Amino acid sequence: MKRRIFGLENEYGLIFSPNGRVYLPMEKVLGYIFEGLIPNSWPSNAFLVNGARFYQDTGCHPEYSTPECDNILDLVIHDKAGERLLEACLPAAEERLREEGLSGEIYIFKNNTDSLGNTYGCHENFLMRRDVDFWKVTEQLIPFFVTRQVYSGAGKVLKVSGKPQYFISQRAQHIHEKTSSSTTSSRSIINTRDEPHSDAERYRRLHIIVGDSNMSEFVTYLKVGTATLVLSMIEEGYAVQGMEFEDPVKAIREVSRDPTLKRKIKLDDGRQLTAIEVQRVYLDRAQEY
C-alpha cells in the first residue's frame, strides 16, 4: 500500500460538578485546562510540542487533533496521548478553581453525545489523490462507512418509548446526509470540506465525520486501518461496485439500532444484505487487492 497521511480530531465532552450551588461558565473551566497544557497562558488554540493541536471547538468542547501520521500505530499512540494530556491537566485546573473558592470536580468525556441529545464528533482525515474522481470514490466508500460501525461503534443506551434501547453507534442517529460541507447542522457521512494543507493540485482531503470516538486502541487501529486500506484500493482501481444503498442515511440508523446484526439493508439493485455481509464484500475485495 502506498504511503498516506492521516489524522484524527476528537471533540471531548466537558462538565464541572461544583460542591454547592454555583454557576461557572465552561469557557472558564476550559481556560484552566488550557493553562495546564501551556502554563501562564490562556490561549484557545495552540500547537503542542508533539505536533498536535489543542483548541476550543463549537459548544465549548476541548478538541485534540493528532499530528499528521503515515503509520496507523503512530496515530493510535498520538490519539491516546491526547487522552493522557487532558487527564493530566485536571488536578491543576481543579486546584485553580479552589483558589477562587469554587471547589468541585471537572469531568472530561471521550464520547459523542450528551444527556441533552447534543452531538460532537470524532473526525478522520485522509490525504487522497486529486486526479481520482471524488464522487465515484465517495459512492464506493459510503456503504463501507455505513456498516463499519459493527466493529468501530462506541455504543450507547437511549430511552425509546419509555424503554432502554442499545445503539451500536453514538453518532449514527445524528447523520442526515450522504455528503455535505457542514459539520454541525446537516451532518453527513462524508464531509466535502476540502482543506488538504498540501499541494492542492495533487491532493485533497477526505473528511469523515460519521465515526465514533473510541477508548480501545485496537478499535481505533481497526477503524482507521480498514478505511485507509479501502481508500487505497479504490484509488488504484480495485472498485467495489454495485453496493450502493437505496437510502444510506436510513441504513446507518437501522444498523445502529440492531445489535443482533441481522437487519437487512436494501441496495439500489434490489438486493438486501446485512451489515456484516456488506463488510465481507469489502474484505474479499481487499484480499484480492
Q: What is the pLDDT of residues 117-154, one digit of tens each?
A: 889 999 999 999 999 999 999 999 999 999 999 999 99
Q: Where are the domains of the chain?
A: 6-109, 122-288
Q: Which of 57, 79, 212, 258 is catalytic?
A: 57
Give the position of cell 481508500.
231
What is the band of 23 on the pLDDT scale with cuts at 50, 70, 90?
Answer: confident
Higher pLDDT, 38 or 88: 88
Active site residue 212: no
What is the band of 43 on the pLDDT scale with cuts at 50, 70, 90?
Answer: low
pTM of the model: 0.93
Within 8 A by CB and 6+ apart from 280, the residues are none
What is the band of 87 on the pLDDT scale with cuts at 50, 70, 90?
Answer: very high
Q: Mean pLDDT across the chain, nearest whole number?
A: 92
Q: Is the pLDDT of residue 236 over 70?
A: yes
Write down the pLDDT at residue 40.
64
Q: Which residues of 167-193 are buried (b: 16+ CB within 10 A; e: fewer)?
A: bbbbbbbbbebbbbeebeeebbbbbbe
